[in-house]
């Protein structure tokens, strides 16, 4: 399962938030880090990652949000060829 997490850094905590995202991008049991992009605009970054199932995804989302360094919005993603009309 692939997830996209949109990230907003807490004002004044950008450096700490960036370092925390780099740490979270490291692979863990049942969760692969994927990659992170910093962005201009409404969000400060995009974090793309994978989890084996929703249970593992929920653990990762909690871990991301518990740092208090950013707010997030996470979406389940899929390749276009998997989309069924």
Domain total of the chain? 1
Helix (H, G, I), strand (E, B) or coil at 12: coil
- 85 domain-assigned: no
Range of the domain at 25: 2-78
User: Domain holding 39: CATH number?
Assistant: 3.30.70.920
Residue 84 lies in a domain: no
Nearest-CA neighbor of 7 among 46, 59, 60, 62? 46
Helices (H), 1-85: 14-24, 54-66
Q: Please state, in angstroms and rounded to a whole number, the distance separating the CA atoms of residues 13 and 15.
A: 6
Query: Does residue 62 form part of some domain?
Result: yes
pLDDT tens string 5-61: 998 999 998 889 888 877 776 666 666 767 888 899 999 988 888 888 999 889 888
């Amino acid at each position: 399962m692939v997830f996209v997490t949109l990230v907003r850094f807490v004002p004044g905590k950008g450096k700490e938030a960036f370092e925390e995202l780099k740490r979270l991008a490291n692979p863990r049991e049942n969760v692969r880090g994927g990659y992170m992009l910093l962005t201009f605009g409404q969000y400060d970054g995009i974090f793309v990652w994978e989890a084996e199932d929703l249970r593992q995804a929920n653990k990762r989302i909690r871990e991301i949000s518990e740092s208090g360094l950013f707010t997030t919005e996470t979406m389940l993603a899929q390749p276009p060829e998997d989309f069924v009309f």
